[in-house]
Amino acid sequence: MSDEGVYGSGDLWVDAWFARQGPNASIQHGRAVVKWGTFTLYGGRLSEHGGPPHVKAARLNGTGTASTSPEEDNYATATSDDGTPYGFWPTVVEFPDFGCWRVTVTHGPDTVAFTARVTRPPS
């Protein structure tokens, strides 16, 4: 699996669409909320085998942890533009504060980690 904005290795990949589209978090109840698709593979094919990935986020320039929503426990299916079905884990992180965050996604032995700068949207 390899596409612009899709990062990972082994059997774990995330579609970091926000890395290619710029400002992206919505503000809900005073929290910056970001949603993306996490893809898990089994035998080289998209699969929900092994259950949902584990997601955590820790603030790098202060104290605090972010929460993930229950959506990460629901495996979703969709169809691509060419009609090919695929599945993914909808993943949501709610950042309680603006700042620099380290987001880590794990599934079995595989890990994808990235740093996110969460800023207040322009007024």
Tokens of 106: 């794990």
pLDDT at 70 over 60: no
> In 10 A of CB 85, how many CB atoms?
9
AA identity, residue 107:
H
Domain 6-118 sits in CATH at 2.60.40
Tens-place pLDDT, residues 38-57: 999 999 999 999 999 999 99
AA identity, residue 71:
E
Sorting pLDDT into bands at 50, 70 and 90, what band is 22?
low
Residues 6+ apart with CB under 8 A from 108: 11, 12, 50
In the chain, where the domains are located: 6-118
